[in-house]
Chains A and B, each alone.
Chain A
Amino acid sequence: MGKTIMTVDDSSSVRQMVSFTLKDAGYSVVEAADGKDALQKLQGQVDMIITDLNMPNMDGIELIKNVRATSGYKFIPIVMLTTESQDEKKQEGKKAGASGWIVKPFKPPQILSVVQKLLK
C-alpha cells in the first residue's frame, strides 16, 4: 500500500525537493505552504508529516501540537526540519510531539533514510 506524506514548508523549492525525492521513492505527497494550510489539508490518508518550523501564519510547533490533538493523526510520525542553530526550537518541537528531525541543509538521501526509519 502506498503511503502518503505531507510536506509543509513556506519555501516552495524545499517543498518541491522533498516532494520529488519522496515521489521518486514511491510515496504519495501532499504539499502545504504553512501550518494553517497543512491543518486544512489534513484529512483522509496521511501517514507522516514533514514540516518546517519557521513559517508565517502558523509555525511548525503550533502545527505539531494541533496535529497531535487531531483524532486519527495522534500517533503518526512527524518530522521537523531544523537548522543547526535551532537547538531550542528542536526541544520545543519534541515537547510538542515531533518524532524526529532533519537538520537543514539536507540532501535527498537523508530525507529518505529518515522517512524509511519512521514509516515502515
Chain B
Amino acid sequence: MNSQMMSDKEQMQQAFLEEAGDLLPELEAALLELDNAPSEPELINRVFRALHTIKGSGSMFGFEEVADFTHEVENAFELVRCGEMAVSKELLDLTFRAKDQIQLMLQDSAAKDSQGVQEILESVRELLPVKKQEAGESPKQEKQSQTSRENLAYRIRFKPDQNILAMGTDPMMLLDELRELGQAYVIAHSEDIPALEKLDPEKCFVWWDVILITTQGKNAIHDVFIFVEEDSELSIQIVDHVSGYGQEEGYRKLGEILTERGDLSRQDLEAALGSQKRVGELLVQAGLVSRTQVESALAEQQTMRRVQEDCSKDVSASSVRVPALKLDELVNLVGELVIAQSKLSRMVGDDGNMALRSIAEEIERLSDELRDNTLGIRMLPIGSSFGKFRRVVRDLCSQKGKEIELVTEGADTELDKTVIERINDPLVHLLRNSIDHGIESPEERAKLGKPRQGTITFSAAQSGGNVILTISDDGRGMDSERIKAKALEKGIISQGDELGQRELLNLIFQPGFSTSTEISDISGRGVGMDVVRKNISALRGSVDAESIPGEGSTIRISLPLTLAIIDGLQVRVGEQHFIIPLSVVGECIELEGNAQRGEANWDFVRLRDQLIPYISLRKFFEVQGEAGSIEQVVVVDTGEKLMGLVVDEVLGQQQTVIKNLSRVYQHIREVSGATILGDGSIALILDVSRLGEMAAG
C-alpha cells in the first residue's frame, strides 16, 4: 500500500510537471497579449488562472517553493482582478521574469535558493498598493489537541436551513455521524411541518434535539456540522459532566431544563409552579411551551438520569484510589508468595506424591496470575509526565528565544510507576538537549527554509515486553564528523578505529563527551548523556541515537515494562548464588582451553574469532575456596562491550523477584538488588555494566 502510494505520488508529480509545461507557455502567451491590451479582463483572468493552478497544484505535489513563490505573484493579479491595481509595465516585466523563474525552479530544484526569487518577490511587493501581502496566508492550523477522556453530555439543538436537501446534505447522515461520536439520544421536533396542502416535499421542516454523551470535545461536534453550521440554527451546550459523584438527587427538574434551554422564562415557571399539577401538563395548558418541547425536555431528563445511574455503577466498580505504599507492599507480598511457591514446587518435585503435586501446580498457576495482575496494577500511563515536559519546553523556549512545539504521542502507554519516576530526569535531560542543541533559532530556521517553529515529538509505544520511548526533533541533527573529531580529541576512540554511522553517533553517550563548543547553562558540559545512559541502564533499558544532518535527531529508549520481577540467569560460585539479568546475557561457554592471560586486570577468553575480557566472580567477590576443574563463562553485553563473567556453574533461568538492599548496602554499586531463592537462601543480582566499570577502573 505504501509503496503503491509512493509510485502514485511520483506519477502525480510527473503529471504536474507535464501540466506546468503546458501552463507556462499559456501564461507567457496571455502575458504577451495583455501587454497589448492591459485592461482586458479575460486576459487578466487567464494569467490569474495559470498562476493559480501552478500554485495550487504545486503545493499539493510537493513543490512548496514554487507554490510559495507563485502565491505572491498571484496575489498581485488577484488585486488586478479586483480592480485595486492596474496592469503596469513593471508588473508585466516582473511576471515574465517570474514565469522564467518558475520554469527554472521546476527543472532544477536547486534554483529555489537563487537570488532571483528574492529579487522578484521584493519588486512585486513594492508594486502592491497596500500591505496586502499577508492577506492570503493561511492561518497556522493548530495541532489537534488531545481529546479529554472525560465523558460529557452535550445538548445539541439543530434546526437546519429548510433548503438543506437542495444543498446535497442529508440531515439524517449528520445525526448518524453524531451517533458515531458517542451515545446519542435524538428527539425529533415535527411541530413546524405545515399542513399537507402547503407541504413542500423538497424542504426540511423537522428539527432535532440531541443529547450526546461523548468523550470527544466540542470541536468534534462542530466538525459534524461544519458544512451546514452557517445556515442552520445550531447550539451546542455542555449539560453536564457525566459522573456518579455529587448527583445524589438525580438529574434536574423538568422546569429547570426548560428554562435552561430558553424555552421558558423563570417567572413563567414560578407562576406555573404555584399550582399543584404536574409541571409539564400545566405549562402546556398555559400555552407557555409546546407539548413536543416538554416531551423533549422529559426525554433529556430520563436520558440523563439513566446515564448517571450507569455511570455511578461504573465508577464505583471501576476505580478505587489506593496509596502507592500499599501497592508496593502488595507487590512485596506477591514476591514472597512466588518464592514460597517455588520452594513448594521444589519440595514436591522431589516427592512422588501425585495429589500433592497437582496442588502445587495449581498454586503455581495461581501465583503466576496473581503476580501478573499485581504488576498490572502498578502500571501508570506515561501521559502523567507529559505536563512536566510541556513545562520544560515552554520555559526553555522563552529562556532561549526559540519557538518549539512539543507533540506527544502514546500518552496511554503504561509503564511501571517506579520506571516512570526514574526515567523522568533522563527524559527531561534529553528534551533539554534537543531544545538547546537540536532546534535552531527561529531566524536560522527561516534562513534554512524550515518553519520558524521547531517540533519535538515525544512518543511512547509498547513493543513486546518493552516500552519504546522516542524523542525526535526537526533541528540541525548531529554531525558525525564533528563527533568523530571530538572523540579522537578526547581519546575515546583511536585513529585506527573503524566505526559505522550508528556507532559514531552513539559515542555521545560516552563519559566526558560533548561536541557543543559553547557551554550553556542548560546542557553542553558533556556530563549529561553518559548519565542519561547510566540511568537508563540501571532500569535495564537501552538507548540509541539516530540523526540526519540538517533534518533532525532521534533518541530511542527501550525500557522493560516492569522492575519488580525479571528473568534472570542463576549462577553459582562456591556456595554463593548470583543472578545475572537475562536481558544482558549473550551466551555461555566453557573457560577451559579458551583462556588467555592479558595485561593488567584483564584476562581474555576466545569466543570464536574474538577476544573477550573476563573477570572471575570468585576473585571479584572474594569467594572462599578453590574453583572446580571446569569453570564456565557467561558472556554479557554491558551496552559498551562484551565481557565474560567466570562462574563455577550455570544453574539456569529463573523468575527473579527483585528486593532492594537495605540502605546500609546501597553503596555497593555492582549489585542492583537481591532475590530469595526457592531454598530460602539469598542471591545477589549483578549490575553488569557497573561491574565492568569497577573491574576496569
Contacts and interface: CB of A to CB of B under 8 A. Distances in A.
A84 B137 CA distance: 8
Contacts of B176: 120
B19 A99 contact: no
Contact of B168 (A10, A14, A97, A103): A97
Interface string A7-44: 00011111011001000100000000000000000000
Interface in A92-113: 94, 97-101, 103-107
Contacts of B48: 54
B135 interface: yes
Nearest to B1: A24
B16 A94 contact: no
A13 B15 contact: yes
Interface stretch (B52-60, B359-367, B414-422): B52-60
A11 B53 contact: yes
B56 A105 contact: yes
B230 interface: yes
B587 interface: no
A83 B227 contact: no
A14 B166 contact: no
A76 interface: yes
B17 to A, nearest CB: 9
B630 interface: no
B167 A106 contact: no
B76 to A, nearest CB: 13
Contacts of A12: 15, 18-19
A16 B59 contact: no
B12 A13 contact: yes
Contacts of B640: none
Contacts of B625: none
* Residue among B165, B167, B173 having the largest count of chain A Cβ atoms under 10 Å: B167
A74 interface: yes
A56 B49 contact: yes
Chain B contact surface mostly: helix
Contact of B169 (A14, A99, A103): A99
A13 B16 contact: yes
Contact of B67 (A74, A101, A105): A105
Contacts of A54: 48-49, 52
A103 B136 CA distance: 12
Interface residues of A, number: 35
Given A13-B57, A117-B177, A84 B168 contact: no
A20 B12 CA distance: 9
Contacts of A118: 168-169, 173, 227
Interface string B1-30: 000110010011001101100000000000
B231 to A, nearest CB: 7
Contacts of B166: 68, 74-75, 97
Contacts of A17: 12, 15, 60-61
B78 interface: yes
Contacts of A94: 167, 230-231
B230 A20 contact: no
B138 interface: yes
Contact of B136 (A84, A98, A117): A84
A64 B429 CA distance: 57
B317 interface: no
B690 to A, nearest CB: 49
A13 B333 CA distance: 67
A99 B167 contact: yes
Given A11-B53, A105-B59, A100 B19 contact: no
B226 interface: yes
Contact of A98 (B4, B52, B56, B167): B167
A118 B138 CA distance: 25
Given A11-B19, A85-B78, 6 more contacts: A14-B56, A14-B60, A68-B166, A76-B168, A107-B60, A118-B173
Interface of A: 10-14, 16-17, 20, 24, 54-56, 68, 74-78, 83-85, 94, 97-101, 103-107, 117-118, 120
Question: Which 10 A-B pairs give the minimum distances between C-beta atoms?
Answer: A99-B168, A100-B227, A105-B59, A77-B168, A13-B16, A85-B136, A11-B53, A105-B60, A13-B57, A13-B15
28 contacts: A12-B19, A13-B60, A13-B61, A16-B12, A16-B15, A17-B61, A24-B4, A24-B8, A54-B49, A54-B52, A56-B49, A77-B168, A84-B136, A84-B138, A85-B78, A85-B135, A94-B167, A97-B168, A98-B168, A99-B169, A104-B56, A104-B60, A105-B60, A118-B168, A118-B169, A118-B173, A118-B227, A120-B173
